C-alpha cells in the first residue's frame, strides 16, 4: 500500500541552504518511509523544496521538470501549460533542458535550441518568477552535430562541418547562446551533457565494457573544461555546474581539476537511473556521497523512456504515439523493451498492483527513496502524464518497506536488464 501523511512542509526559496553536517540525506529518506496513514490522495499537493542540490546549498523539489519533448512532441503552448501547472500550481522549482533539445534528433522537425527558446518566452511572459526557479541546461559534448554547434554563433555562419567539443571557446560560446535563448542573465546549473573523451556509458552508448582501443588522444583535457566553467562562474553567467553521463573516473578527475584550479566542484551528475538500470549504485554512489564529493544525482529517464508505465507490456495495445513506438525505427530507447526489461517490468507491475499504485508511481516514488538522489527528472507529453508524475513526489506518497524489499528482490534476479541482450 502507499503510506500517506498529512505532514506539510513550507516552501523555501532556491537560495536557502541546509547547514553542512545537519540531518543527512539517508535519514531524510527514512523519515519519508515512516509516515503514517492520514490522507487518501496526493492529488494537487504543492511540493516542498527540501532537498539539497549536492554541495550547492540550493534547495529544490524532489521532482525536476524535464523538457526534452518540447519542440518535437509538444508545441510552445503545451510547453507553457506544463510550466504553468508544474511551477505555479504544484510548486516545482527546478527545470532541466539542454542546447540540443528537443530529442530525438532523428525527428524530421528537430531543431536544437527550440526547447530553451520555449522556456525563454515563458520567462518573458512571467516577469518576477525567475529568481524563484532553478534552471539547468547543458552543453553538448564530443561529436555534437553542426546543427547544434552552429547555434552557438549569433550570425549562424559557422562552417557546416563543425562538431561539438568541450574546449574553452566552445564552453563560453555555448553558454552565451543558451543565455540568449533562455532570456536570462544567469544559469543556475550548467551541465556537461556528455564527456569529450571516450566513455562507455551502459544504457546510453551500448556496452558498459571499457575498450582502450576507443580512447581518443585528442580529447579536450578536463582541466581546460573546468577552467572555462570557472570563468563563467566568475562572470556571474552560471552559479553552479554539473556533469552528465559521466563515470566514477570522470567525477574524480573533475573534482581534482577543480581543486587544483581553485574552482568550485561540480554539484550534480545527471545519469541514466531507473528500476531497469541501477548501475549508479555501485562506484558512482560512493564517489558522489555526501560524505565524499557531495554530488547529487539527477536521474534521467526514471520511467525507462515510458516503459515503466507498463503501456508497452502488451505489443498489441502499445500506443502508436508513444516514443518507443513512434521512434522505434531509429532505435530510440529500445533497450527498455528488450526481453529482460519486459520481464522485469512485468514483475515491477505486480508489485505496484499489490501496493495499490500505478507502475509509474512506483518507479518514480522509488527514485525518491534513494539517499543519493537530489531530484528526479520527469518528462511528459500530456497534462495527465504530468499530473501523475508530479503526484508521485508529493510528501504524502511513500512506498511501504515491503514494496521496497520486493523491488530489490526483482533486481537481484534481473540486474540492470536494459543493458542486457535479448539472448540472456
Q: Which residues are catalytic?
A: 101
Residue 364's nearest CA partner among 374, 377, 350 is 377
| 371-to-31, 81, 98, 213 alpha-carbon distances in Å | 11, 32, 26, 36
The residue written with cell numbers 551541465 in the block is: 191
User: Which stretches does DSSP call E strand in 129-237?
Assistant: 134-139, 187-192
Greatest Cα pair distance in the chain = 62
Residue 384's nearest CA partner among 358, 402, 415 is 358
> CA-to-CA distance for 119 and 141, rounded, in angstroms?
22
The residue count of the chain comes to 424
Q: According to DSSP H, which parts of 126-241 are helical?
A: 146-149, 168-182, 222-234
Q: According to DSSP H, which parts of 101-221 are helical?
A: 114-125, 146-149, 168-182
**C-alpha torsion sign, points 261, 267, 272, 274:** positive
Q: Do β-strands 2-3 and 238-244 pair in parallel, antiparallel, or remain unpaired?
A: unpaired
> CA-to-CA distance for 355 and 31, rounded, in angstroms?
19
> CA-to-CA distance for 95 and 119, rounded, in angstroms?
9
Element housing 264 (H / E): none
Query: Which cell is 72 given?
Result: 518535437
SS3 423: coil
Amino acid at each position: 500500500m502507499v503510506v500517506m501523511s498529512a505532514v506539510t512542509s513550507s516552501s523555501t526559496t532556491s537560495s536557502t541552504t541546509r547547514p553542512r553536517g545537519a540531518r543527512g540525506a539517508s535519514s531524510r529518506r527514512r523519515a519519508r518511509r515512516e509516515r503514517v496513514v492520514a490522507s487518501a490522495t496526493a492529488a494537487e499537493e504543492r511540493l516542498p523544496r527540501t532537498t539539497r542540490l549536492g554541495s550547492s546549498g540550493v534547495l529544490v523539489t524532489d521532482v525536476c521538470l524535464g523538457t526534452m519533448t518540447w519542440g518535437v512532441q509538444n508545441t510552445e503552448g503545451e510547453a507553457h501549460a506544463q510550466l504553468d501547472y508544474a511551477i505555479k500550481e504544484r510548486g516545482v522549482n527546478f527545470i532541466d533542458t539542454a542546447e540540443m533539445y528537443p530529442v530525438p534528433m532523428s525527428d524530421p522537425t528537430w531543431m536544437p535550441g527550440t526547447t530553451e527558446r520555449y522556456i525563454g518566452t515563458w520567462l518573458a511572459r512571467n516577469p518576477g518568477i525567475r529568481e524563484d526557479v532553478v534552471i539547468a541546461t547543458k552543453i553538448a559534448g564530443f561529436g555534437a552535430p553542426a546543427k547544434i554547434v552552429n547555434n552557438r554563433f549569433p550570425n549562424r555562419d559557422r562552417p557546416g562541418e563543425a562538431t561539438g567539443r568541450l574546449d574553452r571557446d566552445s564552453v563560453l560560446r555555448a553558454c552565451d547562446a543558451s543565455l540568449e535563448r533562455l532570456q536570462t542573465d544567469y544559469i543556475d546549473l550548467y551541465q556537461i551533457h556528455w564527456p569529450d573523451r571516450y566513455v562507455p556509458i551502459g544504457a546510453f552508448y551500448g556496452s558498459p565494457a571499457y575498450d582502450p582501443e576507443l580512447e581518443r588522444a585528442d580529447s579536450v583535457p578536463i582541466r581546460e573544461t573546468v577552467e572555462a566553467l570557472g570563468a563563467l562562474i566568475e562572470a556571474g553567467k552560471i552559479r553552479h555546474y554539473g556533469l552528465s553521463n559521466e563515470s566514477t573516473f570522470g567525477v574524480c578527475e573533475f573534482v581534482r581539476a577543480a581543486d587544483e584550479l581553485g574552482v568550485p566542484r561540480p554539484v550534480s551528475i545527471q545519469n541514466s537511473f531507473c528500476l531497469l538500470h541501477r548501475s549508479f549504485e555501485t562506484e558512482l554512489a560512493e564517489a558522489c556521497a555526501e560524505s565524499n564529493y557531495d554530488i547529487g544525482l539527477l536521474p534521467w529517464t526514471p520511467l525507462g523512456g515510458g516503459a515503466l508505465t507498463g503501456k508497452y507490456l502488451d505489443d498489441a495495445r502499445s500506443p502508436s504515439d508513444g516514443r518507443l513506438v513512434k521512434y522505434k525505427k531509429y532505435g530510440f530507447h529500445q533497450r527498455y523493451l528488450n526481453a529482460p526489461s519486459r520481464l522485469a517490468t512485468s514483475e515491477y507491475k505486480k508489485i505496484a498492483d499489490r501496493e495499490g499504485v500505478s507502475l509509474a508511481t512506483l518507479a518514480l516514488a522509488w527514485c525518491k527513496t534513494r539517499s543519493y538522489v537530489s531530484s528526479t527528472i520527469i518528462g511528459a507529453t500530456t497534462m495527465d502524464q504530468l499530473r501523475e508524475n508530479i503526484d508521485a513526489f508529493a510528501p504524502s506518497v511513500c512506498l511501504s518497506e515491503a514494496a521496497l524489499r520486493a523491488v530489490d528482490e526483482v533486481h537481484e534476479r534481473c540486474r540492470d536488464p536494459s543493458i542486457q541482450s535479448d539472448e540472456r
